[in-house]
Each structure stands twice: as structure tokens, then as C-alpha cells.
Amino acid sequence: MQKDEVELQAETIKEANRINGFQLFSMTTSMVMTVYGFAAFAKQGPTALFFLFLAGILWFIPVTKAAGEMASIDGWSKGGIFTWARNMLGEKTGWAALFYQWIHITVGMNTMMYFIIGCLSISINLPIINNNPFVKFGLMMIILWGLILIQQRGTKITGRIAQWCFTLGVIIPVFFLLGIFIIYLAQGNPMLININFKTILPSSWSGDVLVGFVPFILAFAGAEGSAPHVKDLENPRVYPKVMLALAICAIFSDIVGSMAIAGTIPNNNIQLSTGIVYAYGALVQRFGISVVFVEKLSGLLLAIGVLGEISSWVVGPNAGMFEAAKSGFLPPKFSKANKYGIETNVMILQGIIVSIMGALLTFGAGGNKANLSFQTAMSLTVALYTLMYMLLFVSYLVLQIKHNDLERPYVASQSKIMRLIYGGLGFILSAFGFLVTFFPPKDMVPTAKRTYLILLLVGFVLVFFVPFILYRYHKRWANELGLPSEETVAGSTYAADGDREIVKNKSH
């Protein structure tokens, strides 16, 4: 009877987390297609096309290729970057890579919530919710903890949320924007930017100009975040197809969104957290349509889309962190799940960190300085995330060079040289994105630059050393969980799942 109950519980958990290919596409797309970044792209003018090429083609495609290949290796479907880096680079490095992926979104969620609140402030005509730091922070907490509470009944719920939010808040607004932008141009209306080869290239190659690359890295980051959910797919072999569709949709939407804003709103008037909403108004006013109505409706729909994105991020990296907790990288209480298999304690920990980061960024940037808060949050997110990506690509290169015999149904390319190029190119652009985040944007005033650098450096330094401090307690926490000692497992590389399945024995 007890065995039957265990099997029934396992089946209940499996069913609660079962998703199809479109739901995974919706979850992953809502993590990647960052409509809240369109205004930041538009700030770069025609140069946005150059940065989109770097991030969308030369960086994003290697990310999807490498993640798809590593996720398809037998026994590597759980844990995501934790499993991949752990097996290729060692436990400490795998843990650090996972931590940077997990912690970056504690900053990134604040960027998303800034966007949601900015959109809602237009939709309900209440500027105070975006300008008053106390009201803004209060709303951020309602959004964050409300979504965490909703996630407690399984990944299937998240898949449904992402599916509906993606349709309402991404597909409809992006295609509507595309339609009115095409009509706008077809009627002979002027573009406020001049697009040619000279204007597409950066005006200079200095750090304060190249820092414009930051939002583009963020726009295409996150494709690997859903890899731990490959195991939840009805047909896991659709994962590579989902990634390809994702790449096409992300590049297309970012080009449309950025050019529509840059071409219709003067650069100095573009607000980072609300720019795309006003772009809709600027486009429809020539067609006799109510600008106020369109701005309010688009603001509401875009806010819904980003709510779905936060929902996906709540469960994505947390699945990997949960696998790490079960391996003793966090105190034992974080290795426990609720009856639906959801890592509640890990989510609560994430929520607390998001709240602290939100307070630091909202009040530390000077309260109502929305653009500075948004820019700093975006840069800190990219600085932390690109650390993880550098480790991801190093892991992928090690896989190609030393462990090519590991079985996987999907490979990035039949040519080993091309796979090495994917890994090398991805690493170089990740390192480039990391370095330029520490240069204040050229258009910032000196006082804002100082605040930007202080907040960015303090946030980065605080986070960088945390995984290595936590790792010092790994052996103790592993013993408390009754896991094998390091001496017992020495010489073998393990997958980061509950069974600690041996993938490859190094002694062979």
C-alpha cells in the first residue's frame, strides 16, 4: 500500500508538471522576448541594428545551439547549467554558474516590474505609481509575492499562465505594432532616424558607447533557463525545434519594436520603462484613432505579457537551484518540495532577495529617477548573467574537446569545427557584454554616472563571492542529507538529478 501511495504521488507530480511544446515555447519566449527592452534598443537609434546582429545572430544562436545539445544528453535534462558545468568543469564551478543564473533574475525581475508599473501608470492614468518610490515598491511586492503564490500548484499552471500572457501581452501587441508601423511607412510618413551603413555602426568604439550593447544581451538571454523542463515535455525531442522558433521570433520582434520607437519618438523623449507604450500612440495618431485609448490598452497588454515573463522566471532557474539543494549546495530545508513537486522554499528565498534588490535599486537610485533605476538594474542583470554564459560556453567547449563520446540525440552541427565556432563566438561575445556593463552610458550626467557605478559595483561585488562562501558549507549540508561523501564519489561525474545517475566515469 505504501508503495502504491508513493507511485501515485510520483504520478501526481508528473502530471502536475506535464507541458507540451507550445507551452514550453510560450514559457521560454516569455523569458526571452523582452518587450520592456524595446525602448532601450530604440535609444541606440540605427546602431540598434548592429547590436541586434551581434546579440541576435552571433550570440543568441550559439546559446540556443549549445543549450539544446547539452540538455539532450542522457541524464542531463535536470539541473540545466548546474548539471552541464558541474559535469564538465567540476562541482564548485557548476554551483557558481547556477548561482549566477539564479541570482541575476533577482535583479532582472525588478526591471520587469518597473516596466509593468510604468505601463499600468499609463493605462490607469496614475503617474504616482511610477514616480513615488514607496508606492512603486509596494506594488512590486504585490506583483512578486502574488506570482510566487500562484506557482505553488505545479509547472502546468505556469505553462498555462505563460501561454495566455504570451498571446495577450506579446503576440498581439507585437503584430499590432508591426501592422501600424508598416502602414505608417507606406503612407510616406518620415522616420526620425536615418538608416544607412554609416549610422548603423557605433559612432565610436569607446566603452560609454558600446555599453549600448547591454540591453541587447539581456533581450536574448534566458533561452537556457527552460532547459530543466525538457523532462516535463510530452515529447522531449521537440526542444531543438522550440529553440529555433524562439530565435526567429525574438529577432523579428526586437527589430520591429526598436525601429518603431526610434522612428517615431525623438530620442531625448524616450522613457526606458514606458517608451514602447508611447510609440503606439505616436503611430496611431495619424490614423484618426484615439491615442489615449491605444496607449492605455497597449500598456495593459504589455504589462500582462511581462507578468507572464516573471511567472516563467519564478519556476525556470529555481528548478535548477532545487536540484543543487538536493545535492547539498544549500541548507537541507531548501531540498524539500510541496506535494506538487514545487520547490517552495527556494522560491521564497528568491522572493526575499528580489525584494532586497528592489529596495536597493528603487530607493538607492534617488526614488523617482525611473530611467537610472531601470538602467542600473539592467546592467547589473547583464553583468551577473554574462558570468554564467561564459561558464556555459566553456562547458560546451570542454564537451566538444574532451567528451564527444557522450550520447545525445541533438547536436548543434554535424561539423565539430562549427560546434567549436559556436562555443568560441558565444564566449567572446559574453565576455564583451560583461566588460561593457561597467561603463556608464554616454548620455548620463556626471552625478548619475557616479550613482550608476556605485550601485552597479556594490551589487556585483556582493553577489560575486556568495556562491564560493556557500560552497564552504557544501560538505556539511550534503552529510545532513545523507548523501555519499566526496571520497565515495571521487572519480565519477554525476548528473544533477535525484538519482545522481553516473553519466561518465573519468577513470575510463
The pLDDT, as a whole number, for residue 506 is: 37
Residues 6+ apart with CB under 8 A from 108: 218, 313, 377, 381, 385
The phi-psi region of residue 482 (left if phi > 0; otherwise alpha if psi is between -120 and 50; otherwise beta) is left
Phi-psi label, residue 336: left if phi above 0, alpha if psi -120 to 50, beta otherwise = beta
Check if the beta carbon of residue 294 is closer than 8 Å to that of residue 159.
no
Q: Which residue has the cell 541575476?
A: 104
Break the chain down into helix, strand, coil percent, rounded to 5: 75, 0, 25
Decide if 230 contacts 239 (C-beta within 8 A).
yes
The H or E element that residue 82 is part of is: helix 81-89
Three-class HEC string of 317-372: HHHHHHHHHHCCCCCHHHHCCCCCCCCHHHHHHHHHHHHHHHHHHHHHCCCCCHHH
Angle at 115 between CA 114 and CA 119, to 5 degrees: 120
Is the alpha carbon torsion for 380, 384, 387, 392 positive or negative? Answer: negative
Please provide the DSSP assignment of 246-287 as one string.
Answer: HHHHHHHHHHHHHHHHHHHS-GGG--TTTHHHHHHHHHHGGG
At 94, is the secondary structure helix, strand, or coil?
helix
Per-residue pLDDT of the chain (508 residues; tens, 9 = 90+): 455 665 666 666 666 567 777 777 776 766 666 666 777 788 888 888 888 888 888 898 898 888 878 877 877 766 678 888 989 999 899 999 989 988 887 777 887 888 889 888 888 888 888 888 899 999 999 999 988 888 777 666 766 776 777 778 877 887 888 888 888 888 888 888 888 888 898 887 887 778 888 778 877 777 776 665 666 777 766 776 777 788 788 888 888 788 888 888 888 777 766 677 877 787 787 777 788 888 888 888 888 888 877 877 776 667 778 888 888 999 999 988 887 778 889 889 989 988 988 887 788 655 445 567 767 777 888 888 899 999 999 999 999 999 988 888 778 888 999 999 999 999 999 999 899 888 887 777 888 888 888 888 888 888 888 899 999 999 999 999 887 654 434 334 444 443 333 333 333 3
70-73, Cβ contacts within 8 angstroms, sequence gap of 24 or more:
70/227, 70/395, 70/396, 70/399, 70/408, 71/224, 71/227, 71/230, 71/239, 72/230, 72/236, 72/239, 72/240, 72/408, 72/409, 72/410, 73/406, 73/407, 73/408, 73/503
Within 8 A by CB and 6+ apart from 32, the residues are: 219, 220, 221, 222, 223, 246, 250
| CA separation for the pair 84, 95 (Å, rounded) | 10
- The DSSP letter of residue 233 is B
Kindly give the interhelix angle for 91-123 and 133-150, rounded to the nearest 10 degrees.
120
**Rounded Cα distance, 358 and 140, in Å:** 8
pTM equals 0.75
For 377, the grid coordinates are 538594474
- At 390 the pLDDT is 95
How far is residue 140's CA from residue 160's CA, in Å, rounded to a whole number? 23
Nearest residue to 225 (alpha-carbon basis) of 397, 52, 55, 103:
103
C-alpha cell at 148: 510566487
> Which CATH architecture fits 20-80+97-315+335-472?
Up-down Bundle (1.20)
pLDDT for the residue 504 = 39
Q: What is the CA radius of gyration of the chain?
A: 22
What pLDDT, on a 0 to 100 scale, did the predictor assign at position 156?
67
Query: Are 259 and 192 in contact, with CB atoms under 8 Å apart?
Result: no
Q: Are 181 and 259 in contact (CB under 8 A)?
A: yes
- Which residues, in sequence order, are CB contacts of 43 under 8 Å at separation 6+? 212, 262, 267, 270, 272
Q: What pLDDT, on the 0 to 100 scale, is given for residue 395?
A: 95
pLDDT computed for residue 467 by the predictor: 92
Task: Output the pLDDT for position 392.
Answer: 95
Grid coordinates representing 289 are 484613432
